[in-house]
A and B are shown apart, each in its own frame.
Chain A
Amino acid sequence: MTPGLLRPDQSLRLVETYPPSAPARQAIIQVEDLSIVFDAPSGQVVAVDRVSLAVAQGEFVSVVGPSGCGKSTLLNAMAGLEQPFEGQVLIAGEAMRAPRPEIGMVFQQPHLFPWKSVRRNIAHGPRALGKPKAEALRIADDLIEMIGLTRFASAYPHTLSGGMQQRVAIARALANQPRVLLMDEPFGALDAQTRAVMQDNLLELRERINATIVFVTHDIDEAILLSDRVLIMSAGPGRILKDLEVSLPRPRSSAIVAEAAYLALKRDCLDLIRSEGRRAFEQMEIKT
């Protein structure tokens, strides 16, 4: 790390060593030397390149990086939707070979079942896990109230706005009470205003549920605002450049993005990404 890049009074702390030394709390997600390779028409594409990371129980970790750097692939591997080429992903000590209901996922697109009402969409998970209908619907109703869509409980997805659909998708993922919630640019498709509201909602929500959250975004503001830790990925092959701890006080709200300290912090963060990116680029040139 470049000395003097950050002043000591700043609440952002850069963790130099990587992989991080054993976290104080029990790690629930362990990614060990994970590589994921795709067969593309143009040859093999290394989407994730020997990534290791650990996420502690209850932690909120963001993954930031440019488009195509392998963020979704990494998240899909944690979800059990993508199998490792090398290395492994352990959640609660168990290798992820297939999706597990204790791990919830919110995608960039809501992917709601279009033939089901809001209520039935949210009740889908509990029903699939064999809960009685009445109980599943009660869970759904509670979540609908929490996301503030009571009026739309029996509406169908195509009649909702993008933001409302994404809120339903979040509620649907929460209905199975997941221990881990994976979110892949969940607000990426929303306009700036809706996005800010959704971020505040998520911060509030986080106080109420005790899930571990891994949040993919390419928005630095969003990452700093929401997270305990930000992982910065390099552009392909997907590798983790830096592991930054964000120790801004909680509770936070999206209003902090206007504060001077926050702005300075963000600028330094961007500088870091730029210099690291340049270094990675130069290394690549030397290699070839």
Chain B
Amino acid sequence: MRIGRRSSASARLSILVAVLSVPAFTGVWELVARSGIVNAVLFPPPSTVAVAILEWVRSGQFFADLMASLSRVAAGFAIGAAGGIVLGVLTGRFRLVSSLLSPLFHILRPIPPVAFVPIVILWFGLSETGKLFLVVWGVFFTVWLATHIGVQKVDRGLIRAAQMLGTPQPQMLWEIVLLGALPYITVGLRTAVSISFYTLVAAELAGAFAGIVYRIEIAQQNMQTGQVMGGLAALGLLSFVADRSFAILAERAVWWR
């Protein structure tokens, strides 16, 4: 009984500390930034950052930037993931397709997508196509590999049972194999969510006309450190929300586990 009470007391304490953690650090940051120990232009207090964010939102630019970044990530993710899943099912299921494509994919996959920025600028200039290309590139290989491995790990018994029931090949691929590999695919997709944000950063830094990272870069050139930090906060929040909602979605998708 006493142990129970003590552990519940310590549990309450850790909840309290967790709740106060971010406000406490923000408070310390505010104090340090205002105290004059550091250069307030390079290291502005949170209040300055908050004002910058508010101004960003009020001007209407925030929404435009958000939509620009979000649509790049979403479109790139959708195309890259769809391609990765389709080719992953084919290479995972058919040895000949795998022999044809896997060596190539294994050579290209380890090259960090960010390293493709120069050639993407050569090919596509500063167009949206180039940015889309980078995000698709980053997402594709991760999803492809996860699907490829997942397909090979599909319970053989399940496939044999489906074969015995006369399941036609297309249904075998796009129902039994795909759903059988889904637990692996969702892990790959979730990793790809954060990769799509990394590549977005590279794509927008390479030159854009709108977007959250583009805004951060402009603010940096104008020495608006508050706006830079506001941009980082927005990006962090956005990718956090994307990751969490994907995790919830994935849990629903593989509900039978």
Q: Which of A81, A114, A157, A175 contacts B163 (CB 8 A)?
A: A81
Interface check A79, CB cutoff 8 A: yes
Q: Assess the A111–B256 pair: CB atoms within 8 A.
A: no
Interface-forming stretch among B24-32, B63-71, B88-96, B154-162? B154-162
Q: Assess the A107–B157 pair: CB atoms within 8 A.
A: yes
Interface check B167, CB cutoff 8 A: yes
Q: Assess the B155–A111 pair: CB atoms within 8 A.
A: yes
Interface check B165, CB cutoff 8 A: yes
Specify the chain A residue showing the minimal Cβ separation from B156: A111
Interface-forming stretch among A16-24, A27-35, A121-129, A244-252? A121-129
Interface-forming stretch among A98-106, A194-202, A207-215? A98-106
Of A113, A169, A173, which is in contact with the most chain B CB atoms at under 10 Å from its CB? A113
Enumerate chain B residues within 8 angstroms of A113, measured Cβ to Cβ.
158, 161-162, 176, 179
Enumerate chain A residues within 8 angstroms of B165, measured Cβ to Cβ.
101, 124-125, 128, 172-173, 175-176
Interface check B164, CB cutoff 8 A: yes
Enumerate chain A residues within 8 angstroms of B256, measured Cβ to Cβ.
114-115, 156-158
Query: Contact mask A101-145 → B, CB, 8 Å, 1/0?
Result: 101110101011111000000001100110000000000000000
Enumerate chain A residues within 8 angstroms of B158, measured Cβ to Cβ.
111, 113
**Chain A nearest CB, measured from B90 CB (Å):** 21
Bound: A120/B165 CA distance, A? 13
Bound: A225/B166 CA distance, A? 31
**Chain B nearest CB, measured from A103 CB (Å):** 7
Q: Assess the A99–B164 pair: CB atoms within 8 A.
A: yes
Bound: A114/B257 CA distance, A? 8
Interface check B112, CB cutoff 8 A: no
Enumerate chain A residues within 8 angstroms of B166, measured Cβ to Cβ.
99-101, 125, 128-129, 176
Bound: A262/B256 CA distance, A? 45
A-contacting residues, B159-185, CB 8 Å = 160-168, 171, 176, 179
Enumerate chain A residues within 8 angstroms of B164, measured Cβ to Cβ.
79, 81, 99, 101, 103-105, 173
Bound: A31/B162 CA distance, A? 24
Interface residues on A, range: 20 to 34
Bound: A107/B157 CA distance, A? 8
Enumerate chain B residues within 8 angstroms of A173, measured Cβ to Cβ.
164-165
**Chain A nearest CB, measured from B171 CB (Å):** 6
Of B157, B161, B257, which is in contact with the most chain A CB atoms at under 10 Å from its CB? B161
Bound: A125/B176 CA distance, A? 13
Q: Assess the B161–A128 pair: CB atoms within 8 A.
A: no
Known: A115-B179, A156-B256. A109 touches B163 (CB 8 A): no
**Chain B nearest CB, measured from A195 CB (Å):** 20
Query: Contact mask A80-109 → B, CB, 8 Å, 1/0?
Result: 010000000000000000111101110101
Specify the chain A residue showing the minimal Cβ separation from B256: A114
Q: Assess the B179–A111 pair: CB atoms within 8 A.
A: no
Specify the chain A residue showing the minimal Cβ separation from B157: A111
Specify the chain A residue showing the minimal Cβ separation from B163: A99
Of B163, B164, B167, B257, which is in contact with the most chain A CB atoms at under 10 Å from its CB? B164
Query: Contact mask B236-257 → A, CB, 8 Å, 1/0?
Result: 0000000000000000000011
Enumerate chain B residues within 8 angstroms of A111, measured Cβ to Cβ.
155, 157-158, 160-161
Bound: A172/B167 CA distance, A? 13
Q: Assess the A107–B161 pair: CB atoms within 8 A.
A: yes
Bound: A283/B160 CA distance, A? 37
**Chain B nearest CB, measured from A21 CB (Å):** 32
B-contacting residues, A52-100, CB 8 Å = 79, 81, 98-100
Specify the chain B residue showing the minimal Cβ separation from A182: B164
Enumerate chain A residues within 8 angstroms of B167, measured Cβ to Cβ.
124, 128
Bound: A157/B157 CA distance, A? 15
**Chain B nearest CB, measured from A101 CB (Å):** 3
Bound: A173/B164 CA distance, A? 8
Specify the chain B residue showing the minimal Cβ separation from A105: B164
Specify the chain A residue showing the minimal Cβ separation from B165: A125
Bound: A113/B257 CA distance, A? 12
Could you list 23 A-B pairs, sorted by A, with CB under 8 Å? Answer: A79-B164, A81-B163, A98-B163, A99-B160, A99-B163, A99-B164, A100-B166, A101-B164, A103-B164, A105-B164, A107-B157, A109-B157, A111-B155, A111-B160, A113-B176, A114-B256, A128-B162, A128-B165, A128-B166, A128-B171, A157-B256, A158-B256, A173-B164
- List 6 A-B pairs, minimum CB-CB distance, nearest first: A101-B166, A125-B165, A111-B157, A114-B256, A111-B161, A105-B164
Given contacts A99-B163, A111-B161, A172-B165, 7 further A-B contacts (CB under 8 A): A98-B163, A99-B160, A104-B164, A113-B161, A115-B256, A128-B167, A173-B165
